[in-house]
Structure 1
Amino acid sequence: MGLKMCGRHCLHHKSCTAVNYDTVSLLCELLVETSTDTNSTIQDFRNSAIHTWSLTDDSCYPNPCSGKERCVRTKKEDYYCLTISTPCDDVICQNGGTCKNRPSTFTCLCVDGYNGTFCQATPCDDVICQNGGTCKNGPSTFTCECVEGYIGTLCEVHAKVRLVDGSHSLEGRVEIYVDETWGTICDDAFGEEEARVICGMIGYSKNGSISYSSGYFGKGNGDILLDELNCIGTETNILDCQSSGLYHHDCEHKEDAGVACQVYVKVRLVDGSHSLEGRVEIYVDGTWGTICDDAFGEEEARVICGMIGYSKNGSIPYSSAYFGQGHGSIALDGLNCIGTETNILACQSNGLYNHDCEHKEDAGVACQATSCGDVICQNGGTCKNGPSTAICQCGEGYIGTLCEVYVKVRLVDGSHSLEGRVEIYVDGTWGTICDDAFGEEEARVICGMIGYSKMGKIPKTITYEVRRSIPYSSAYFGQGHGSIALDELNCIGTETNILACQSNGLYHHDCEHKEDAGVACQEN
């Protein structure tokens, strides 16, 4: 206990008129003057002690003091807890805040996302994000998360980007829409980083973006909106980059900037009688979609077949959902290809997802693989020339015309390893097979893939009847989980991979897991 604390307790005692404090023993005495005090400086008075105590560490044990008390020793050698008052005694910091005492006041230390004297406020309390934006609290400030096309601290600026006058939808002069008008960008300091941001805004890949200068795609009209752009390349909106500011420039339209973007796209043929034909589906923006047959002809079919790895020669286009109607998005319409393009998105079109079609207009193709010169087998596959076509001989676990698909099979929840619910591993995940049309031929293929005999005896150690490969339906071995990978299988029985059989295509089904197929095999 210090001298100030000793004096404080004197002030709170109505009879106390003075104190004694020993800085060595930390002894504090509260004194009062009486009429019989012979040592008093006032005639006829002297001091006598009301209370005497000194600070101790643990003398109050086994009844220790709380954090707001101190253990003191009285003049009679008794010990008790003396309450110590602090500014935080009467303060409640909100939302997880912690009160800290200061010399004559307090401070609430707030957790991230709160502020104010008592941590009662958030940065978003006084913010209204515009145009559908959502306010998100940060550690010490706020962020307005804007809907597509808007930018700015409060989502107050509407900005769009388009590419104009290119030979296809992936390239062109850059034009941005701000303040309800379209304008161009000056090529001063416009490079790869700026091109990456533009391509990302449109929805294309940022990788491989190419910048063009000097009005390469022709001169624009109207305002020049941006100049001296300086982007990092990770921005999601071109207006997030440093620049001279909107409409501040020293350029002419002969300096309009342009870009060429790249798009990650895959192509597959679905629901054909073999892997060289089917409905065209493309994978872009993380989803599969179809192509409308409007203007879809031989040139477009050549590009599709070339992308898959087949010969472009002899490619045949099909219209009117010849291979059945697809599902989900219609990705492209109004395609106009030369036939030499290596990417279907490099052809002119109405743009991604801009169409006036229905799935009854889904396009298809039939491709040719006339020799190994037209084929690149994947995943270690070896190409062999046949009488009229080229064939990829795939390594174990791979299938497909180009050995592009990895597939495994297992039997689950049977009473032994030779039987169970059929599950196949495709595209990095396990799935079941629907029992529609699943019979002995399909069971033979499954058993052959696992390595068991398609015909033979069960080991004598297993007390089950001798039998051939036997199919089971109606989730005989229990219902599976996750995807249903195949439905309406139609095998000959000699196939070496279940995906070589005809079916509705991967993940196309009208089943539930109560229809999961199973098999019982025989050991070699």
Structure 2
Amino acid sequence: MNKTLLIVAALSVTLLSSVAIVESCSTGSVRLVWGLGPWEGNLQVCLNGVWGWVCHNFFNSSAAKVVCRQLGFSTTGATRFTSSYYGWGNGTVLMDYVSCTGSETKITNCGYNTVLTSSCYHGTLAGVVCQSGGTCTNGDIRLITASYRSFGRVEFCIYNQWGTICDDGWDSSDARVLHYIVTLVVQIMDEDLYQLGSGMLVVPAVTVVYLRAVTLSAPIVVLVLKSRSRCSSSSAFGLICYSPSQGSGTCTDGTVRLVNGSTSNEGRVEYCYNGDWVPSCGMSSITASLVCKQLGYNSTYGSVFNDERFGRSNSKSYLHYKSCSSSHQSLSQCTDVIRRSSCDISLAACSTEYGLRCYNTGSCTNDGEIRLVNGTIEQEGRAEICLNGVWGAICHNGWGTSDAFVFCKGLGYRGSGSIARSNAYFGETNGPVLFSYFRCYGYESGIYSCSKSSQPNFNCTQQYTAGVTCKDSCSNGQLKLRGGKYFNEGTVLVCYNNMWGLISDVAWSDGDARVVCNSLGYHNGIAKSIRGSYYGKPRLPVHFKHVSCFGQEPNILQCSKTILSLDNGKLALNTDDVAGVDCIHDEPTECIAPPSWINTAGSQCQFNGAIRLEGSEEAGTGRLEYCYNGYWSPFCKLDPVAASVVCKQLGFVNYTAASIIPTTDFGVVQNFSLFNNIVCNGTEDYVSDCVVQTSECIPLCPKNIGIKCFNPGMCTTGDIRLVDGIIENEGRIEICTDGVWGAVCDEGWGKTDAHVACAQLGHPDKEPVVFRNSTFGAGQYPVVHSNFSCGGWESSLTECGSIVYPQFNCSRNNTAGVLCGYDCEDGEIRLVGSESNYEGTVEVCHDHIWGLISDSSWSTQNAEVVCRQLGYEIKETISFNDSYFGKPANKTVHISDIDCTGHERTISDCTRTTLSLEEGKTMIPQTNVAGVKCYTPDQCIPPPTGGVSCTSGRIRLTGGRSGVAEGNIEYCYHGSWSLFCSLGPQEAVVACRQLGYEQYDITAVFNDGRFGLSSVNSLFQNVSCIDAPTATSLSECDLVDKCQSKCQYPIGLCCYESTGGCEEGSVRLVNGSTGESGRLEVCTNNIWGSVCGRGFSVTDAHVVCRQMGLELGESEPIVYTDSYFGDGNKAIIYSDFNCGGSEETVTECHKKEYGSFICSHSNTVGIICRDSELFIIIVLLIAPILMYAWLVVQQNMKAHSKCVIIICGGLCLLMDGLTEKHQ
């Protein structure tokens, strides 16, 4: 059926340059420009004889009323507009943050900022519409729009006055007119303007097109569609006109089918309606179940898809979807929901065509059984439950950590910190989504015991299923072996962050294996490193790589290593082989048969049983020899009791404990002994009174036994000391017994014993580091104590239980050591080596130990982070290399190759290499260390004291809107109110807590003077809550107040109050011209926050646009990092995004979170997601007298209309009659 449609357009066009207007004016005057008349337009204000713009920040309807009153119009219906609604301009923005009550007579009577520079830009100008607008003819319709927009405000003339239409119920079907053609406005504009570029812009004036009613012989449906395409430098708008379908009779009404699926049980749902196959524009779980039932499947579950994975038909229909209830037994009982507006039925295509997958039972048998599916490691995966013979997933709605913990507990994982995953983190399920809205408390025995919603009482698609990452019940550094034939061999498993994981075999050595074997209790024998995943590679994350141990470390956490994140550890599982060990038991001592001459008496010595010391001139010291059958024989074995008899025989009667020294220091007379051993009971005065043991196999000893005897009086009994440590607070533990220093055997030596020793030495109550295996050498004194059993409350080691000499036998290779912690917290820093507190060598606390930073890669950016962390201003910070302020000789090197951007809050937020304690100590001699000089004012003015205007420690907000938790923050310093010149995000949170806003640990911080005042003084330099993150008052934090400070603008805050909430991880674009553009905001902890532009890329924007459902095709999104769409007056919650591009949501991307970075509100992210679809183009060619309309129909839309006027750059005009052919 063909219909002819006549469109008559009358167009009046005026062009107006957006250059700054420089004519003189009266200060305080206002005017509205670029509207249809003086009653509407972008607002300009005159200050100091010059016209300028007003920014839309805080500009509201109260301000609009003041403008209308000042212009002589009624204040009733005064409306404000934002985002340069009436066009862009350039020139000066004279007013920002206008705050009116609505009763003022002039705009200059309101509060505002008058700075000549502003965070505002020319796309965020304020506009006003006053109720007036001139006369009109009843029934006229007009569209008010800026020339560069393809949309606008619809106004209707009634009682000869223009009025607007309420948007309640207004949608795309209301853009259809049955007997009237709706007004359409389109302008040709500069491509640079669309691209939001810079430079001189010429903005055409607002254009209004009046289209009179035309009576048609049949209903015509008019759809208004926006085009995101280009025709040279033009932007366009479009209509689709078509008549209702009469149906083709190709199917039987009431039937249903699945189309375009890869298997027969899935596909796009199509109903037969009026004889045509038409898609479903919506589908509930109940409807899905009835569709599957009608198609012959025996499971009551169906999976609904709304992502058009089965393609589109683009068929148009009156049918929108079928509405079914739980009481319906078949699809025929459901209600057909028809497209209609307030007065007529609509014929249209679906915005989304739904798909479905049906199931038969039999995939599982035990209802309530659970499993993890599709995880890279065995502790994680998509959470699935068996129900009614079908494996199904859980919807992520309401899925939280308590639910994840109970699910993991059902699988045997009982560690705390289970991670709840959402958005099909582990891929879509192949089965239906069976449950949603779990509510577990943690004590339940299994997930099935928790309250929940079951199908079909909710709607949830496969893209929104839940998963978990379970945690093991283990402690950091715990080790075990898996996969070996025997218990002392296997792949090494290490616990880190409550998860068992693996160690990469890159650089895996016997020294590393030695630490593992020692930790597992195999202290003796051989520790053999095994590489190449020899014992297998369990499906666990790789926690550590490049492990480097010396072999003496008490556990593997003390070794140098690269610690992998969970994500990187899962990647390494696929690329790296893993480490194993074989802890080989002690082998029998080698021995030889006695030489034949041993039975013939020798002449080397006269008295059998005599002893002597050789190889040393020191009394009581030397290689011990025994006269056996006339031959001097070395000792290959000697126990403490026999050694005590030796010293007694040598004249050391007041202190008989001896140091047994297997060494070559005193020379080696021969590598074997003529006897097996000498056994004494301790009461003997001479060794000759002891029993000499012989055998057919005499021992070999490449090191002959030496001995050292002592006289008392060198120390006070009960005293202890640390000896031979490289750094402060560490060393071999020695205890004075009977006036002689003695070592402690490491058998049974633990942290509780070390804690008592450190407390006795006066060190703070910090967790000590325990050393075994003579880490600090054996020393020269006897080993006098073993198996200490301290309870922790003792004031000295002598109060603890122990085994004393000579009741035990301990090798000198097994003396104990300790490192006592400093009174510092991890990440804390300080400057040393200078008389000034603002400069010096940087020391950082790690594992409660003060250490240094290598100057490798040391830069100004690194130094700025140090100064910021210490509370100083970062401007004019100077970094120093080459140990400029000296290098403390008794410190270890904690950090090397540090790489800060300069925006981090603390050193701990920077990329860096952390060295093990042993490696750091070995680096001391050859490594230069880093230093800084932080900025202090040249003219340091000490702050005043003794003020009486306020109570010290109180804070307040000033300059903000009444009733809103915002404004410049002021602190009462020694009785005087003071503004802030700097404030970090953590400190801002503490300030909001102090003000009573405790619900959120996120706060918006501003440094642009939006709450008034400029060029201010602060009575102090900074406040730092790094050491008190849970503080409830700024007075609990550290105040740097050596000097007053000066800044251009004071710090402002906006504390979050109770909000309506939002869905965790959801995103939106705000303050753009369409839903496809705007400032990026992300929901976290039920609040919306913006994103810092630092590091934000097109790849990150792709993920955002995809998450919002905006298909990009081959086009690229546009990214702005300069608050192009305004700063949003919200907290900046993320920074340094690093998406790979394949993520489904931005929550899956690597990023920095609130509190770990500093970012200005002038650097928030904005995005334009380009829609690749070109639907219909209508271009109105600007002409001196008359314009004609034209339509271009995209080839993939099927030819609904053919009415083509091709205009590119205004060069060609081709017009045919409008015909309609509905197919």
User: Shared fold by TM > 0.5?
Assistant: no
In the superposition, the TM-score normalised over structure 1's length comes to 0.32
In the superposition, the TM-score normalised over structure 2's length comes to 0.16
